[in-house]
Amino acid sequence: MLHTPGNPVTAHRPGVLHSKKQQHWVETESRRYIPAPQESVIGVIVHRSAEAYRVDLGSAHLATLDALAFEGATKRNRPALKVGNLVYARVSLANRDMDPELECFDATTRKADGFGELKDGFMVECSLGTCRKLLDSTHFLLPALAQKFPFEVAVGVNGRVWVRAGSTKATIGVSRAIQMLDNRRTSDEEVASYIQQMDV
Amino acid sequence: MSRFEPLNAGNLRSDGRRPLELRSFSAELTTHPSADGSASVSHGLTQVTACVYGPREAKNRAQTMHDRALVNIEVEVAPWAGEVRRQRTKGDRRTAEFAASVKATFEPVIQTTLYPRSEIDIHIHVLQLDGGLLQAGINATTLALVDAGIPMLDYVSSLSAGLYHTTAMLDLTNLEESDLPSVTVAVLPRSGKVTLVSMETRLHVDRFEEMFKLAMEGGKVLRGEMDKVVRERTKVLARQMEGGAAQDEDRMETDDL
Amino acid sequence: MLTSPGEVITSAMEFMRGHGTFVEDGSVVASLSGTIERVNKLVSVRALQTRYHGEVGDLVVGRITEVQAARWKVDVNSHQDAILRLSSVNLPGGVQRRKLESDELEMRKFFEEGDLLVAEVQPMHGDGVLSLHTRSLKYGKLRNGQLISVSPVLIRRRSTHFCTLPCGVDLILGMNGYIWIAKHVAENEREGEEGFDAEAVYSNKNDDIDLETRAAISRVSNLISIFARHSVPLTDTILAKAYDWAVQQELSPKDLLRTETGDNMVEMVTALA
Amino acid sequence: MPRDVEPSINQRDFIFSAIQQGLRVDGRSPLQARKTTIRFGNSLGWVECSIGETRVVAQISATVTRPYFDRPFEGIIVIHTEFSPMASSAYETGRPSEEEITMARILEKTIRRSEALDREALCILAGQKVSVPHRETNTKIVRGQQVWTLRLTIQFLADEGNLLDCACMAAMAALRHFRKPEVEVVGDEATMFSPEERAPVPLALHHQPLCVSFVSLGPRNTPVMDPSRLEEQLAHGKMTISLNAQKEICVLQKAGGVALPADEVLHAVNVAVSRVRDMSDLLNRSLEEDSRTRVIEVR
Amino acid sequence: MAAPLSKAESSYLSTGLLLSERADGRSLLDYRPITLATGVVPSANGSARARVGDTDVLVAVKLDAVRLDDVVDGDDERQEGKAQFVCSVECSPSALPHLPTDTLPDLSSDLTTLLSYYLSLPSLLPLRQLLIVPRRRAWQLSVDALLLSYGGNVTDVLFAAVRAALWDLRVPKTRNFVYDTPDAADSALGPGLGGFRIERAGVLDHARGLRRPEAADFELEDGSDEGVPLEGRELLPVCITLNLLTPIFYLDALPAEEACTPCRVILFVRPSGALCGLHRVGDSEIMPAELKQVLHEAVKHGQELAKALNDRLRDPKIASLGSNLGAFS
């Protein structure tokens, strides 16, 4: 995405150019995430210490998640995340000279706001563009799936989608649909018909 | 090209063994007192020593694993080991592959989860080579790990087998290895399962099974031989540690060593 | 009763598995080679050769390997270096003194890489890393002698691991197999609670040691390595006996380096026991 | 060396519980392979093979050289594998990892050690005397001891699991697709013809070994064919079997990992036999189709 | 080389050395017991293993028949008898488990250089004995050492083992023969001959060109499995390392002693007392007066060591048993 007031606007990444009023952005096929503040991401805990977790976002650097940046966390009562757990978090600090920082609550209300550990389920990796499509409430995929069966989903803009449905088969169904959407060689129609024929 | 005859008219092999006869096997424990555990193993003229260090503080912290110990294998082949003098360099692919195989064999057998963030270093020295490098390396490593008191789910015992026409034979020499289709297996004797199978020669699927199963059976027999050596050593240590009580027998035992 | 890895010891229905065993398919199976020990329902296997497995309250001798932020890493012959926190050592200026920021910047004044110390194992944290403390006047930096390391299984847990041999040598038998052999320092010569000062406790300087004491230290050290070679468990009594025997036989410390002399010694001394 | 981030607990648990029910996340059954495709390039001996999203390119070039001293009557084949960060961020240029070495070794054993290629047929002249080769317009005359040296370069473009099977398929396809210039030997003089003069000739192959890899997955170590990258990372063990269509095993490698009952190994061998039959058919079909589209000028 | 020592330890050790009371009770010029065994590698032509304390070195010597360069001019004498050898010293990572493995190659290459220096000492190897066919063929020695474990004083132990392996070496007996006609010579090309292959026709062309009825090749004499011991093996130099901690110097250092000694002098001494090599290792410098004293002692102890080693090697039991060489002073 690119937004530069004044001066001629130049793209610095390849992709499809979109324009809306004064804004222009480039949709890329990129899979490499560059953290930006306030974005929701899915991370994997790769290291834990007394004060903080180190989290992999699929970006160039590991992010830091303070052990106290959870709803209801106190010095005595901290979340017990293990290495390998998934967390849904918000980027609270993204500075190109420092490792990004995450939080699992709203810093003002200290409420979880949907963030925190993601239990069970499965995580699908896809391009950043596919993630943005899924976040677009007008996109057909998630509503179409929801017609078939209920499921939970968390979309991180860093190219990761977490899915949990009632059965293993249903979870596989959702993740396959997302992967098909991600695949350049399958058209939206094919994805839609796959969902229609899905037998869960 | 070769005029080598793997089996003569009397059904004997070039070194006089019967097809399913193993070469003389000998092993010694604690050959390197400065290591945490060590063992030397000979299958005929093939001789391999293994030294185990650890579990100990990892030298390279970036490589450590949060939930288990890291197993490192270093292999060194003495320049005089083979027929032709050869100085192997660190990056030698064959040696690297050998090390990787030994590592993958022992990783699931050692209870590495008891020692998070530690490392276990295993140094294998090939002192003489007459076929059966992989089997000797694995057997020596098993014994060295037992000697080091590192918990394992089972012994790993390894043996090679070959096939000449329809006759399967066990524990191949270098000459036999270069002439016959052969397989090396490593088994966990208690469960009878196989952890390593390595075959690099062409053989029809239908002829594979017999040779493969015989090698596994042979591996289990070899476990008995290895265990004898371990028990002998454990007995001696146990008596010595008991101190005064069993003095007389104690001396006899040490004399045997 | 001896066993080896992979051997089924007993049924897991009736017994509980202890160290050196695991449970598979309803059986307790040995994972080590060694002796089977049963305490009530608990079955364990004791290896006869292994690295040090720490237990709370153990006395250990260790060597500093690294100075980190507010803590030292200490090699204690275990599967990982132990941790000695700055808050777990006595600081100069009185036992009760709290640690200061400035102490953190001068940690090498207390212990630096290579330094030897005697310490006690504290209750440890979750992931099995040993934690040490030297908050006793008996503990701390080691001087006036030399280190010898043996297999930890040769050191048995006893009421005290500080011994003084009649020959004027102090021994610290670390549970981890590290043994410190040093010149004897009389109880009253040790720095008391009052006179606790950094100079003495964290000093790197040895006292003057006469030749006789040096010879005694060498002799004890050589005797220990002979016993270790023969896997004879070490106690102050057996060492004192061996020492007397060596003196009786008019053996100089270097005579003990000969294998035959050593074999003789073990035979004679263990027969006396 | 940057280690690949290990898969999350969620992914591990999910894949393990799915495989217990005989399910895989891409919808396959445990012993089902992904779609395999072979694409031939414009030049002979350039092949791109893909299994699912895993892609490998194999390429062959041939030059005339002196033979190895100890094998004067045999041609030379050099296998070069190129791992690059392009295939996966886990790969790095420089010192190869254990995984890479193992893979390169299996390829080497499958292609070279199993004598897939008739190396003696790559010998041009076995004579002893050496003279300087001299050139005419298009025809090259070579004298002295000369053999073909084939250089097989395997490039890994994308790693979504099971690189090895894909690489082996690409390599064998390339060897079958390649044509070397024709050479005519008269006495101790050999004449090499340019493609315009005489149609280049295919390589002489003894047989066509292909790799089939399995991993053991989940609490019951279910055997899984053609593993995806994620399945490979979570596997407790891996086994590769190289076979030809004549049901001859060329390489069987299970280097450690979880222990399996003997019968499971034998069962995997049988599964591999039928998979290799399918792959060989596909390879033969693709080659036929390609040759129909190719016009080889013969004068 | 060993694990770092604490300041107190190293001061205890060096004070002890200055007082002539060492950590294990030896005096300055005492050796630890040396254990020697020969014939430990059956596939080699000569081999030995030497142990002193924890230092353990295995050495194997192999002989390969090699073709000499076909040079006609130049120093004929030298050409004929040009002895060839290759050597290596490998240090196993288990020898120095505390060292990071990437520093081992340095130690290996230092010791290899020293071994190569030793083997190329003039008149060390009996050139005439190693020559098979004048101008054509000679035995090439490969001397390879493996440092299995380290417990101080590697150099002395290494060369004690090298010396014992050379002592153990048996040079096969050979018989030379001449090709009668060029035709016969041609037919002998290609396939192996007596186990050795003639590598290039050039040798023979050259022989014919000279028209000299020279021996062209050789074969092993039948029934001579034993071979001949290396000539002058009793006269091989020994290595004596003196550790200098001014004003004293001492022999056979323990690893901890090495760690607190700034300078070492490595000397090669013939049993006759002749000095044939000297290397200084370490940071500090030596005054000539001190060196004089060092040399005097080195020669004295070198001669004693050589005598003790020779006596031990002459003992027929050594090949099977491996025997204990008493500490001497």
Cβ–Cβ of E42/B128 closer than 8 Å? yes
pLDDT computed for residue C83 by the predictor: 94
Q: How confident is the model at residue C246 (pLDDT cuts 50, 70, 90)?
A: very high
What residues contact residue A130 under an 8 Å CB cut-off, 6+ apart? A159, A178, A181, A182
The mean pLDDT of E197-206, rounded to a whole number, is 39
- With an 8 Å Cβ cutoff, the interface of chain D facing chain A consists of 5-15, 17-18, 21, 23-27
Touch criterion met for B and C (3+ Cβ pairs within 8 Å): yes
Which residue among B94, B96, B197 sits closest to D254, beta carbon to beta carbon? B197
Q: How confident is the model at residue A199 (pLDDT cuts 50, 70, 90)?
A: confident
Cβ–Cβ of D5/A44 closer than 8 Å? yes
Tens digits of residue pLDDT in C158-180 = 888 999 999 989 999 999 999 99
Cα of B63 to nearest chain A Cα, Å: 13
In contact, D235 and D271? CB cutoff 8 Å: no
Q: pLDDT above 70 covers what percent of chain E?
A: 77
Structural tokens at position B200: 């690099």
Residue C154 touches chain B, beta carbons under 8 Å? yes
Q: What residue has token string 């590991």? A: A62
**Region class of C115: left (phi > 0), else alpha (psi between -120 and 50), else beta:** beta
Find chain E residues with C-beta within 8 A of B74's C-beta: 93, 101
Which one is the CATH code of B25-256: 3.90.1150.10, 2.60.40.10, 3.30.9.10, 3.30.230.70?
Answer: 3.30.230.70
* More confidently predicted of A48 and B255: A48
Tens digits of residue pLDDT in A129-142 = 899 999 998 999 99
Classify residue E157 by its DSSP letter: H
Cα of E53 to nearest chain C Cα, Å: 9
Cα of B197 to nearest chain C Cα, Å: 21
Find chain B residues with C-beta within 8 A of C48's C-beta: 149, 234, 237-238, 241
Structural tokens at position C53: 């497995």
Which residue among D10, D11, D27 sits closest to A176, beta carbon to beta carbon? D27
Chain A interface, best mutation among D6, D9, D23, by max A CB count within 10 A: D9
Which residue among B57, B146, B240 sits closest to C81, beta carbon to beta carbon? B57
Does pLDDT of E201 surpass 50? no
Q: What is the C-alpha to C-alpha distance for residues B239 and B31, in angstroms, rounded to an integer?
A: 20
Domain ranges for chain E, please list them. 17-173+223-319, 176-220
Helix (H) or strand (E) holding E290: helix E288-314
Cβ–Cβ of B254/C50 closer than 8 Å? no
Classify residue A138 by its DSSP letter: T
Cβ–Cβ of E93/B74 closer than 8 Å? yes
Residue E256 touches chain B, beta carbons under 8 Å? no
Q: Please report all neighbours of B, defined by 3+ CB atom pairs within 8 A.
A: A, C, D, E
Q: What is the C-alpha to C-alpha distance for residues C153 and C32, in angstroms, rounded to an integer?
A: 14
Cβ–Cβ of A84/D21 closer than 8 Å? no
Q: What is the C-alpha to C-alpha distance for residues B182 and B132, in angstroms, rounded to an integer?
A: 10
Residue E5 touches chain C, beta carbons under 8 Å? yes
Structural tokens at position D284: 């033969």
Cβ–Cβ of B190/C6 closer than 8 Å? yes
Does pLDDT of A3 surpass 60? no
pLDDT computed for residue B88 by the predictor: 64
Q: What is the C-alpha to C-alpha distance for residues E272 and E267, in angstroms, rounded to an integer?
A: 14
CATH code for the domain defined by C2-47: 2.40.50.100
The mean pLDDT of B218-224, rounded to a whole number, is 95
Residue E272 touches chain B, beta carbons under 8 Å? no
pLDDT computed for residue E142 by the predictor: 92
In contact, A171 and A165? CB cutoff 8 Å: yes
Tens digits of residue pLDDT in A79-89 = 889 999 999 99
Q: How many CB pairs under 8 A join B and C?
A: 120
Does pLDDT of A20 surpass 80? no
Report the residue count for chain D: 299
Cα of B33 to nearest chain A Cα, Å: 37
Tens digits of residue pLDDT in B72-130 = 999 999 999 887 777 666 668 889 999 999 999 999 999 999 999 999 999 999 999 99
Q: How many CB pairs under 8 A join A and B?
A: 4
Residue B123 touches chain E, beta carbons under 8 Å? yes
Cβ–Cβ of D249/B194 closer than 8 Å? no
Tens digits of residue pLDDT in B29-49 = 999 888 999 999 999 999 999
Classify residue C106 by its DSSP letter: T
Does pLDDT of B175 surpass 90? yes
What residues contact residue B15 under an 8 Å CB cut-off, 6+ apart? B23, B44, B173
Instruction: Report all structural domains of chain A as residue ranges with CATH numbers, in order of start.
Output: 39-118 (2.40.50.140), 122-197 (3.30.1370.10)
Q: At E232, phi and psi to the nearest 5?
A: 70, 25
pLDDT computed for residue B26 by the predictor: 96
In contact, B34 and B148? CB cutoff 8 Å: no
Q: How confident is the model at residue C20 (pLDDT cuts 50, 70, 90)?
A: very high
Q: How many CB pairs under 8 A join B and D?
A: 112
CATH 2.40.50.140 is right for the domain spanning C59-201: yes
pLDDT computed for residue E209 by the predictor: 43
Q: How confident is the model at residue C39 (pLDDT cuts 50, 70, 90)?
A: very high
Q: What is the C-alpha to C-alpha distance for residues D137 and D255, in angstroms, rounded to an integer?
A: 54
Which one is the CATH code of E17-173+223-319: 3.40.50.10860, 3.30.230.70, 3.40.640.10, 1.10.287.950?
Answer: 3.30.230.70
> Which residue type is seen at C5?
P
Does pLDDT of E203 surpass 50? no
Residue B147 touches chain C, beta carbons under 8 Å? yes
pLDDT computed for residue E188 by the predictor: 42
Does pLDDT of B225 surpass 80? yes
Does pLDDT of E321 surpass 50? no
D4 within a domain of the structure (yes/no)? no
Does pLDDT of A180 surpass 50? yes
* More confidently predicted of B134 and E328: B134
In contact, C47 and C32? CB cutoff 8 Å: yes
pLDDT computed for residue C188 by the predictor: 58
Largest CA distance in chain E: 80
D1 within a domain of the structure (yes/no)? no
Q: How confident is the model at residue B3 (pLDDT cuts 50, 70, 90)?
A: low
pLDDT computed for residue C202 by the predictor: 85
Q: How many CB pairs under 8 A join B and E?
A: 72
Q: pLDDT above 70 covers what percent of chain A?
A: 90
Tens digits of residue pLDDT in E59-88 = 999 998 887 754 444 444 444 445 578 899
pLDDT computed for residue E124 by the predictor: 82
Does pLDDT of A160 surpass 50? yes
Q: Which 53-72 residues of chain C touch chain B by CB within 8 A?
A: 65
Domains identified in chain D, total number = 1
Q: Please report all neighbours of A, defined by 3+ CB atom pairs within 8 A.
A: B, D
Name D205's bridge partners.
D117
Cβ–Cβ of D256/B108 closer than 8 Å? yes
Chain C interface, best mutation among B220, B237, B253, by max C CB count within 10 A: B237
pLDDT computed for residue E3 by the predictor: 58
Find chain B residues with C-beta within 8 A of E148's C-beta: 32, 49, 125
pLDDT computed for residue D136 by the predictor: 47
Does pLDDT of C35 surpass 90? yes
pLDDT computed for residue B136 by the predictor: 97
Chain D interface, best mutation among B138, B202, B223, by max D CB count within 10 A: B202
Residue B37 touches chain C, beta carbons under 8 Å? yes
Find chain B residues with C-beta within 8 A of A81's C-beta: none
Tens digits of residue pLDDT in C102-152 = 888 889 989 999 999 999 999 876 677 899 999 888 899 999 999 999 999
Helix B205-242 and helix D262-293, axial crossing angle in degrees, nearest 10 = 140
Q: What residue has token string 């008019």? A: C250
Does pLDDT of B245 surpass 60? no
pLDDT computed for residue B16 by the predictor: 92
- What stretches in chain D show pLDDT beneath 70? 1-4, 92-95, 127-144, 295-299
Q: How many CB atoms lie within 10 A of CB A148?
A: 17
Domain ranges for chain B, please list them. 25-256
Cβ–Cβ of D255/B198 closer than 8 Å? yes
pLDDT computed for residue B1 by the predictor: 44
Which residue among C147, C205, C215 sits closest to E9, beta carbon to beta carbon? C147
Q: pLDDT above 70 covers what percent of chain B?
A: 91
Find chain E residues with C-beta within 8 A of B34's C-beta: 54, 94, 97, 149-151
Average pLDDT, chain C: 88
D188 within a domain of the structure (yes/no)? yes
What does D175-237 look like in DSSP terms, one character per residue? HHH-EEPPEEEETTEEEEPPTTTS--EEPPBS---EEEEEEEETTTTEEEES--HHHHHH-SE
Q: Which domain holds residue D169?
A: 9-298
- With an 8 Å Cβ cutoff, the interface of chain C facing chain E consists of 63, 113-116, 141-147, 204-206, 209, 211, 214-215, 218-219, 221-222, 252-254, 256-259
- The dihedral of CA C259, C262, C268, C273: what is its sign? negative
Cβ–Cβ of B108/D102 closer than 8 Å? no
Cβ–Cβ of C257/E33 closer than 8 Å? yes
Residue B251 touches chain C, beta carbons under 8 Å? yes
